[in-house]
Amino acid sequence: MPFPNIDPIALSIGPLAIRWYALAYLAGIGFAFFYGRVLIKQKPLWHQSTPPMTATQLTDFVFWAIIGVILGGRLAYVLFYSLLVGGDYYLNNPLSILAVWEGGMSFHGGLFGVALAAVFFARYLKQSPLSALDLMAAIAPIGLLLGRIANFINGELYGRVTTMPWGVVFPEGGPDPRHPSQLYEGLLEGLLCFIILRIATHNAMALRKPGLVAGLFAIIYALSRILVEFVREPDAHIGLLPYGLTMGMVLSIPVGLIGVALVINAARTKKGGRAI
Binding site membership: which residues? 148
Statement: the pTM of the whole predicted model exceeds 0.95: no
- The answer to whether the Cα torsion of 42, 111, 230, 150 is positive or negative is positive
Cα 134 to chain center, whole Å? 14
The secondary element (H helix, E strand) that includes residue 151 is helix 141-153
Residue pLDDT tens, the chain, 276 long: 778 877 778 778 877 778 777 788 789 888 999 999 999 999 999 999 999 999 999 999 988 988 898 898 888 888 887 777 667 777 777 887 777 666 677 888 889 999 999 999 999 999 999 999 999 999 999 999 998 998 998 888 899 999 999 999 999 899 999 999 999 999 999 999 999 999 999 999 999 999 999 999 999 999 999 999 999 999 887 888 999 999 999 999 999 999 999 999 999 876 544 444
d(CA 252, CA 56): 33
| Burial of 98 per CB tally in 10 Å (0-12, 13-18, 19+) | exposed
Length of the chain, in residues: 276
Q: Which amino acid is at 98?
A: L
Instruction: Identify the CA nearest to 264 among candidates 223, 225, 220, 210.
Output: 210
- Judge whether 248 and 230 are in contact, CB under 8 Å: no
Q: How many CB atoms lie within 10 A of CB 101?
A: 6
Give yes or no for a contact between 180 and 158, defined as CB atoms under 8 angstroms apart: yes
Cα–Cα separations (whole angstroms), residue 138 to 135, 190, 199: 5, 11, 11
Half-sphere exposure of 205 (CA within 13 A, CB side): 9
User: Residues 122-137, buried b or exposed e (16+ Cβ, 10 A)?
Assistant: beebebbbbbbbbbbb
Q: Are 113 and 32 in contact (CB under 8 A)?
A: no
